[in-house]
């Protein structure tokens, strides 16, 4: 077991408690991971309530999603975590949650959701002020996770280069949100910032 694993597992357990307290991982929803090195990541095992995780609920897989311990099973969505780590070398932690706001807004239609004018846009790279906007991709839900990842790769290939050109997050329609960052504290900050803006957008729609 990597010397980095205990710290990664502790960060994942703490993230589970935080996101459960905020209501973003109901039942056994959600999954979290931390990069261990250039070939492996620590990720939550399948079927655990994220508010009650222990280090035993975290396992190691390689960047193809293959478990280091064959007796353990991670979520099928582990392949989406692997896709992020393969694509973005700066990614050190990935969070996936299921809030009411991200679920409802992602069902509203369209290939992206625009967030503009929010102070918390500064949680994303390349956006130093609120006077900006982010087009957050909304991808179709698919039980074939490998196919979904191929679609994400094609989407990212089509985006321009440069800091902030590819937002460090996306929504799966009717399903949930993904964010990533260099480490777990920043991933949590990005998730909290994103979920605040999504809640605001949902509230604004209710006032129309």
Report whether 96 belongs to an annotated binding site.
Answer: yes
**Residue 83 binned pLDDT confidence (cut-offs 50, 70, 90):** very high
Q: Are 94 and 33 in contact (CB under 8 A)?
A: yes
What residues are paired with 172 via a beta bridge?
Answer: 139, 176
pLDDT (0 to 100) of residue 69: 95
What pLDDT score was predicted for residue 207? 84
For residue 130, which of 116, 144, 140, 141 has the smallest C-alpha distance?
116
pTM summary value: 0.94
The mean pLDDT value for 55-83 works out to 95
84-102 pLDDT tens trace: 999 999 999 999 999 999 9
For residue 98, the tally of other CB atoms under 10 A from its CB is 19
Is pLDDT above 70 for 172?
yes
SS3 content of the chain, % helix, strand, coil (to 5): 40, 20, 40
State residue 145's pLDDT score: 96
Q: What's domain 5-207's superfamily in CATH? A: Class II aldolase/adducin N-terminal domain (3.40.225.10)
Cα(141)–Cα(66) distance, integer angstroms:
23
Residue 169 near residue 135 (C-beta atoms within 8 A):
no
Strands 133-139 and 93-97 come out as unpaired
pLDDT band, residue 164 (cuts 50/70/90)? low
Question: Has residue 17 got a pLDDT over 60?
Answer: yes
- Tokens read off for 155: 């989407």
Q: What is the mean pLDDT of residues 173-201?
A: 97
Which pLDDT band, with edges at 50, 70 and 90, does 129 fall under?
confident
Task: Please give the pLDDT value at position 205.
Answer: 86
What share of the chain has pLDDT > 90, as a percent?
A: 85
Q: What is the pLDDT of residues 101-126, one digit of tens each?
A: 999 999 988 899 999 999 999 999 88
Q: Encode pLDDT of 135-161 as tens digits.
A: 999 999 999 999 999 999 999 999 886
Structure tokens at 191: 């998730």
Domain-wise residue ranges, the chain: 5-207
SS (H, E, C) the chain: CCCCHHHHHHHHHHHHHHHHHCCCCCCCCCEEEEECCCCEEEEEECCCCHHHCCHHHEEEEECCCCECCCCCCECCCHHHHHHHHHHCCCCCEEEEECCHHHHHHHCCCCCEEEEECCHHHHHCCCCCCCCCEEEEEEECCCCCHHHHHHHHHHHHHHCCCCCCCCCCEEEECCCEEEEEECCHHHHHHHHHHHHHHHHHHHHHHHHC
98 is in an annotated binding site: yes
């Amino acid at each position: 077991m990597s010397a980095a694993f205990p710290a990664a597992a502790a960060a994942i357990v703490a993230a589970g408690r935080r996101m459960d307290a905020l209501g973003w991982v109901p039942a056994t929803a959600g999954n979290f991971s931390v990069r261990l090195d250039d070939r492996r990541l620590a990720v939550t095992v399948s079927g655990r309530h994220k508010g009650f995780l222990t280090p035993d609920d975290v396992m190691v897989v390689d960047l193809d999603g293959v478990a280091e311990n064959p007796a353990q099973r991670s979520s099928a969505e582990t392949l989406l975590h692997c896709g992020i780590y393969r694509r973005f070398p700066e990614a050190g932690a990935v969070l996936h949650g299921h809030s009411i706001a991200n679920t409802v807004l992602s069902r509203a239609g369209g290939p992206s959701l625009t967030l503009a004018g929010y102070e918390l846009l500064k949680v994303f790279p390349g956006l130093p002020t609120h006077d900006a906007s982010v087009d957050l991709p909304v991808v179709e839900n698919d039980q074939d996770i490998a196919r979904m990842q191929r679609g994400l790769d094609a989407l990212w290939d089509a985006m321009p280069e440069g800091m902030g050109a590819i937002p460090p997050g996306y929504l799966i329609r009717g399903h949930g949100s993904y964010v990533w960052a260099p480490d777990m504290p920043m991933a949590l900050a990005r998730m909290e910032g994103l979920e605040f803006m999504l809640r605001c957008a949902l509230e604004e729609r209710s006032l129309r």
